[in-house]
Structure 1
């Protein structure tokens, strides 16, 4: 009887030991599986990385060079250039415009209140065409006196005088420090020395002439009477 009871206790102990070993084995197996199995947030494989990179950098652009697809060049058509000056244009150049002749202009000479002993010459284009005015070749003479008026002041620039436009020159008839002189109520005007002059009455005259001088042509009366 005593032996039977001891055998039963031994069998029960072995059974319990076996159950414990099995349980421990199962736990270790689960732990190893947890380490080996990839998690839900595991890094992508090399293939996945290649695919991701291809989406970002390897897909070729469909924009052709010059279409504005990041090429740095605009595809807009260049605008039409502005029109070049017309040949012979009165506003832009003197091509095709003839020189002004003395007979192309009308003249008026008026005694100026200031400066003293001065007169203003106004020359106007009376024709229907523009002409190139020689600014520095003006010739002023007094009938009955020898020689032409000397030049005074700076030289001007030849410019195109349109129909109806005027140019101006200042005439000095007498120096205050020079005594005597000849009385005159007319002057002779020529645009160049090679042309026949036009005789012009002096408005506000007669004047006393003893040492005459004349400026170049200017665009305003104020400039002409500065010298």
Structure 2
């Protein structure tokens, strides 16, 4: 091979090597460009999505409820301040229910509602607020009707029976147990209670009889009522008996 031919061959090899090198470099550059483009393309949509959503835009939560961009709705979302009625004024929460019972208690006290104490019960009658009168009746024979009228301003309770003292008698007459009512007799202002008195036996079997024109009846508080007897007085003997105080005149004269 001549020197000229050898130079020509070397030149051809260099040309082919340069071309191959150029192709390889171009391929590497293309690969690098595709890699940059792929990375940029993956992150770009997220940035675009984030930036394209307005600060106040609404999105749906997993439960289907709409939430604002910052996680609350206005000044108090369901997640932040709770549902209506659980807290805050204007609800029917704990504050109003507590005050309701207090108001009722105050109103009850102001209205003077009875608490069932002894102060609400009628007191015992006294000679100062009860007037007793005595009247002879034609039937039953030898009977006297006592009427106790409440002249006071409050209802009061009469004693069980009138402990009547006729004249100078040292003892009070016995009471007819058959006439005992279920409870004490109370008399309202202007109302009356009644008691019957058997003065003497009708068949003359009584003893130690005497005439008298005075009658006194004591009350449980120590006061004593003086009762005016019918004109001419009354005759009493050992048959003298009284009934319990009754609310009915007929019951008082039934013995």
When the two structures are superposed, what TM-score results if normalisation uses the length of structure 1?
Answer: 0.54
* 1:101-180 map, 5 Å: 101-134=126-159, 136-152=160-176, 153-156=178-181, 157-176=183-202, 177-179=205-207
When the two structures are superposed, what TM-score results if normalisation uses the length of structure 2?
Answer: 0.49
* Cα 1:88–1:223 shift into 2, 3 Å: farther
Between Structure 1 and Structure 2, whose CA radius of gyration is higher? 2
1:200 paired residue number: 227
Listed as ranges, the gaps of 5+ residues in structure 2 are: 1-111
Match of 1:95 among 107, 120, 123: 120
Deviation, 1:161, is 1.4
| In 2: Cα distance, 1:88 partner to 1:162 partner | 21
Question: How many residue pairs end up in the alignment?
Answer: 139
Measured against aligned partners, the alpha-carbon deviations of 1:101-136 in whole angstroms (never above 9, x if no partner) come to: 2322001001111111110000000011112233x2
CA contact (8 A) 2:185 2:247 kept: no
Q: Secondary structure at the match of 2:123?
A: coil
Deviation, 1:154, is 2.4
| In 1: Cα distance, 2:253 partner to 2:119 partner | 28
Q: Secondary structure at the match of 2:124?
A: coil
Measured against aligned partners, the alpha-carbon deviations of 1:157-182 in whole angstroms (never above 9, x if no partner) come to: 21431100000000111113225511
Listed as ranges, the gaps of 5+ residues in structure 1 are: 1-84
1:220 paired residue number: 248
1:6 paired residue number: none
Q: Secondary structure at the match of 2:157?
A: strand
Q: Structure 1 stretches (4+) deviating beyond 3 angstroms? A: none
Structure (1 or 2) with the greater helix fraction: 2
Q: Secondary structure at the match of 2:164?
A: strand
1:185 paired residue number: 213
> Cα RMSD between the aligned structures?
2.6
Q: Secondary structure at the match of 1:203?
A: coil
2:70 paired residue number: none
Measured against aligned partners, the alpha-carbon deviations of 1:30-68 in whole angstroms (never above 9, x if no partner) come to: xxxxxxxxxxxxxxxxxxxxxxxxxxxxxxxxxxxxxxx
| In 1: Cα distance, 2:180 partner to 2:131 partner | 22
Which gives a bigger RCO, structure 1 or 2 (Cα 8 Å, sep 6+)? 1
Deviation, 1:204, is 5.0
